[in-house]
Structure 1
Amino acid sequence: MFDIGFWELVLISVVGLVVLGPERLPHAIRSVSRFVSSAKSMANSVKDEISHELKVQELQENLRKAEKMGMEDLSPELKSSVEELKQAAREVQRPYASNKPEQTAQDVESEVSPTTTPSDVAASKKAE
């Protein structure tokens, strides 16, 4: 990475021993190694996130190209795969939307009475 050889490391160690002394040198080495490892992990996580975003962007672009070219030419397996991708994209856009039709305000009011607690409502929803 930095192209540091053995003799450079020996020189850095001797200078560190003279400047910091034998009591503070181990603590300084631990601090530097923690900093270097955290910097490496941060760089790796950023690299992974960028790679993931590029893959998602490429998939979206390929899907747009396929839609422009026309979906009639595709094989049945590919059509089903495209439909699954579209469904997954819809679910990601609305992760908290339920598959059930929304209840009307009257349905909610009929379920909740003045003596009903929020935990009772949640328990009745789970029972359904």
Structure 2
Amino acid sequence: MFDIGFWELLLVAIIGLLVLGPERLPAALRSMQRGMQGLKSYGSKVSAELNHELRIKELHEHLAQAEQLNMDQLPADVQRSIVELKAAAAAVQRPYANPKPAADDSHKP
């Protein structure tokens, strides 16, 4: 990403040592490292969210195409998308499905 060589890093380290001093330099480097890890984590979360949203958009487009065409004439990728959508819908409905009805308690006094 950046074209930083050994001499540039050495110069930055010397300037950091002069400015911060030997006592605060390790803490500053750790803080900078945590910040960089946070940025990487945020970037990967954003990337994953965008990929998820793009996949949802693709599934919606395939569903719209399926509604326009006869279900037997759909391309294979659209049929796979429909199967995925049905599986996702079933997975969402399972936690909210009605439990089995309890036995009839009409014989209670």
Q: How does 1:1-128 map to 2 (within 5 A)?
A: 1-74=1-74, 82=82, 85-86=85-86, 88-89=88-89, 91-92=91-92, 94=93, 96-100=95-99
Q: Which runs of 5+ in 1 are unaligned?
A: 111-128
Q: Evaluate the alpha carbon distance shift between residue 57 and residue 95 of structure 1 in structure 2; reply closer, same or farther with a 3 A threshold.
A: farther
Identical aligned residues as a percent: 48
Q: Evaluate the alpha carbon distance shift between residue 24 and residue 11 of structure 1 in structure 2; reply closer, same or farther with a 3 A threshold.
A: same
Higher relative contact order (CA 8 A, sep 6+): 2
Q: Which runs of 5+ in 2 are unaligned?
A: none
When the two chains are superposed, the root-mean-square deviation of aligned CA atoms in Å is 3.0
In 2, Cα distance between the equivalents of 1:30 and 1:20? Answer: 13
Q: What is the TM-score when the length of structure 2 is the normalising length?
A: 0.73
In 2, Cα distance between the equivalents of 1:37 and 1:81? Answer: 35
- Structure 1 residue runs of 4+, over 6 Å off? 78-81
Which amino acid in 1 is paired with 2:35? F
Deviations for 1:62-100, whole angstroms, at most 9, x for unmatched residues?
Answer: 12102211113359xx869735633532653x5642144
Report how far residue 7 of structure 1 moved.
1.2
Q: Evaluate the alpha carbon distance shift between residue 100 and residue 70 of structure 1 in structure 2; reply closer, same or farther with a 3 A threshold.
A: farther
Q: Evaluate the alpha carbon distance shift between residue 6 and residue 53 of structure 1 in structure 2; reply closer, same or farther with a 3 A threshold.
A: same
Q: Evaluate the alpha carbon distance shift between residue 58 and residue 70 of structure 1 in structure 2; reply closer, same or farther with a 3 A threshold.
A: same
Q: Evaluate the alpha carbon distance shift between residue 70 and residue 19 of structure 1 in structure 2; reply closer, same or farther with a 3 A threshold.
A: same
Deviations for 1:49-74, whole angstroms, at most 9, x for unmatched residues?
Answer: 11111012101211210221111335
Deviations for 1:81-124, whole angstroms, at most 9, x for unmatched residues?
Answer: 735633532653x5642144889xxx8xx8xxxxxxxxxxxxxx
In 2, Cα distance between the equivalents of 1:22 and 1:29? Answer: 11
Determine helix, strand or coil for the equivalent of 1:3. coil
Q: What is the TM-score when the length of structure 1 is the normalising length?
A: 0.63
How many equivalent residue pairs?
A: 103
